Amino acid sequence: MKNSLRHAIALAIIVLLTGSTVVHANVTTPMTVYFTFSGPQSLHLMPVAVAYVGEATPQKALELLITGPPQGGGLERNLPPDTEVLEFWIEEGVAYVSFSQDVLAGAAGSAGEALLIAAVTNTLCRFTDIDKVQFLIEGMEVDSLGGHFDAREPFEPQWDMVLSAPFTDVKGHWAEGNVHAFFLTGLIEGYGDGTFRPEREITRAEFVKLLVLATNPELVTPSEPTFSDVGPEHWAYRFIEAAVKHGIVEVSDYGERFGPDARLSRREMAVLLTRSQDLESRAYELRDAHLLYSDTELLPAWARGYVAVVTELGLMHGDDVGTFRPDSTATRAEAATVLTRLLDSGQENVRLAWPSDSMAVEGWVLLGGVARAFEGTVNARIMDEAGQEYIQTFTTATQGGPGWGFWAILLPVPPCAVQTTYGVEAFTISAKDGQEQDVVSRTITCVAP
């Protein structure tokens, strides 16, 4: 077995390709391509399993790298779109790839050059007869692609650049899956030391910003600030003003001063979540609701309604001993969890970050997220207009299971002559009975050419 394949197994990112358009797609040869995931503070490579209809070859993989990922998936191309592959051959385990000069535009900066080299090398070294990759430009060897790395010798794959654990302090945490899923949205950041600090208390301004980003109302910058302590120079000014404009923040609740640095209570979190979904009237209806939490009997009626709404929506729950803790300060882990639920990201063991529901697609659709599954295996499929399975494939999350790992799958969209709605699903298979479980569904809209 080739060294590249042994590396792939060690990292548990082997993908089996499916390539048929019937109900149960036939397994053919492996093909995985690597695109860049640009996090708020770091760059990583994401392995993408491709359900390619036809024979998977290194040349086809290079074509996909040049085409780049579909829009709306959170991933970016590494090779400029004008790049051409002029020659390709394999000799004694080394793949020789002669690119046009256009490829050099993708090697700007040390990070850009490193990602380009690793994307090509990792992709090609997933084929069993390739161990290394030699870059050529217009058929000639070059000293470097961007001035930072010696390109005179073949490159080995860089598996350590694959996205696996963006934070050092969330593994095993109860909110690990939600933190990672929310990380894939690009809306939340960690700290410079590589930590997320899940138990750190979150402030009022921090949560309002995240809530506004998640619900996506129009940002505003009024000339006169609503609150005396949140002026135009404040980092959260536009987000707080947007929350005011769209009814998420009620000025009468705070008076002249918002208190952006005040710690956010779980009760206030419930209020803000309810208003972000325009369910104030529902909270009023539920003001006399009987709550099953053991510590909410003394809540005033107005607060009881908001707690009832977020419970009804499944956004907030009690703890292991049945308490809601309305006066406790919310943490970063709790914020990531409720906002992941708000975005309807998935089931207990599968979170789907892309695509967004009803997204317009053309040609391909990219599914991606995080999963915790037996052997890390995640399945994905697309259904045609009649609801019949068009194609299905599976991949292995980057941590390999049974812990949380990242995954991405690229599926071809059935051809459409007019705008058509299709369904996509991600799911796992039970190790006990072989049944599908943790099914997460989205609809996509095929845009006619």
Taking alpha carbons only, the member of 357, 360, 377 closest to residue 440 is 357
Decide which of 342, 368, 388 is a domain's last residue.
342
Decide which of 293, 315, 342 is a domain's last residue.
342
The Cβ-side half-sphere exposure at 199, using a 13 Å CA radius, reads: 4
| 430 and 327 together in one domain | no
pLDDT tens sequence across 124-173: 999 999 999 999 999 999 999 999 999 999 999 999 999 988 899 999 99
| 48 and 125 together in one domain | yes
For residue 355, whether the previous peptide bond is cis, meaning omega lies within 30 degrees of 0, is yes
| 364 and 433 together in one domain | yes
Residue-averaged pLDDT of the chain: 89
pLDDT of residue 120: 98
What band does 348 get if pLDDT is binned at 50, 70 and 90? confident
| 56 and 92 together in one domain | yes
Instruction: Summarize the confidence of residues 308-315 as an average pLDDT.
Output: 96
Please say if the pLDDT value at position 25 is more than 60.
Answer: no
Amino acid at 384: D
| 28 and 120 together in one domain | yes
Please say if the pLDDT value at position 26 is more than 60.
Answer: no
Instruction: Summarize the confidence of residues 233-239 as an average pLDDT.
Output: 96
Tokens 């990201």 locate to 345
pLDDT of residue 7: 31
Decide which of 132, 161, 190 is a domain's last residue.
161
Taking alpha carbons only, the member of 338, 384, 296 closest to residue 202 is 338
Check if the beta carbon of residue 360 is closer than 8 Å to that of residue 229. Answer: no
| 338 and 216 together in one domain | yes
pLDDT of residue 230: 97
User: Cα(32)–Cα(97) distance, rounded to whole angstroms?
Assistant: 18
| 153 and 180 together in one domain | no
- CATH number for the domain spanning 367: value is 2.60.40.2550
Please say if the pLDDT value at position 8 is more than 80.
Answer: no
Among 34-43, 266-275, 335-344, the range of highest mean pLDDT: 266-275
**110: containing domain:** 3-161
pLDDT of residue 15: 34
Counted domains in the chain: 4
pLDDT of residue 72: 74
Please say if the pLDDT value at position 24 is more than 70.
Answer: no
What band does 21 get if pLDDT is binned at 50, 70 and 90? very low
| 311 and 414 together in one domain | no
3-class secondary structure for the chain? CCHHHHHHHHCCCCCECECCCCCCCCECCCCEEEEEEECCCCEEEEEEEECCCCCCCHHHHHHHHHHCCCCCCCEECCCCCCCCEEEEEEECCEEEEEECHHHHHHHCHHHHHHHHHHHHHHHHCCCCCCCEEEEEECCECCCCCCCCCCCCCCECCCHHHECCCCCCCCCCCCCHHHHHHHHHCCCCCCCCCCCCCCCCECEHHHHHHHHHHHHCCCCCCCCCCCCCCCCCCCCCHHHHHHHHHCCCCCHHHCCCCCCCCCECEHHHHHHHHHHHCCCHHHHHHCCCCCCCCCCCCCCCHHHHHHHHHHHHHCCCCCCCCCCCCCCCECEHHHHHHHHHHHCCCECCCEEEEECCCCEEEECEEEEEEEEECHHHEEEEEEECCCCCEEEEEEEECCCCCCCEEEEEEEEECCCCCCCEEEEEEEEEECCCCCCEEEEEEEEEEECCC
pLDDT of residue 131: 98
Name the residue with higher pLDDT: 54 or 364: 364
What band does 368 get if pLDDT is binned at 50, 70 and 90? very high
Q: Give φ, ψ of 3 to 5 degrees.
A: -60, -40
pLDDT of residue 209: 97
Q: Is 396 left (phi over 0), alpha (psi -120 to 50) or beta?
A: beta
User: Cα(359)–Cα(421) distance, rounded to whole angstroms?
Assistant: 10
User: Cα(166)–Cα(139) distance, rounded to whole angstroms?
Assistant: 38
| 175 and 294 together in one domain | no
pTM of the model: 0.86
Please say if the pLDDT value at position 304 is more than 90.
Answer: yes
Instruction: Summarize the confidence of residues 269-291 as an average pLDDT.
Output: 96
| 52 and 120 together in one domain | yes
Check if the beta carbon of residue 12 is closer than 8 Å to that of residue 374. Answer: no
User: Cα(13)–Cα(397) distance, rounded to whole angstroms?
Assistant: 6
pLDDT of residue 185: 87
Please say if the pLDDT value at position 19 is more than 80.
Answer: no
| 127 and 171 together in one domain | no
Name the residue with higher pLDDT: 94 or 430: 94
User: Cα(108)–Cα(147) distance, rounded to whole angstroms?
Assistant: 9
Check if the beta carbon of residue 163 is closer than 8 Å to that of residue 353. Answer: no
Instruction: Summarize the confidence of residues 37-51 as an average pLDDT.
Output: 87
Tokens 């070059």 locate to 142
Instruction: Write out the two tokens for 143.
Output: 């000293």
Q: Give φ, ψ of 416 to 5 degrees.
A: -140, 135
pLDDT of residue 125: 97
Instruction: Summarize the confidence of residues 100-121 as an average pLDDT.
Output: 95
| 51 and 26 together in one domain | yes
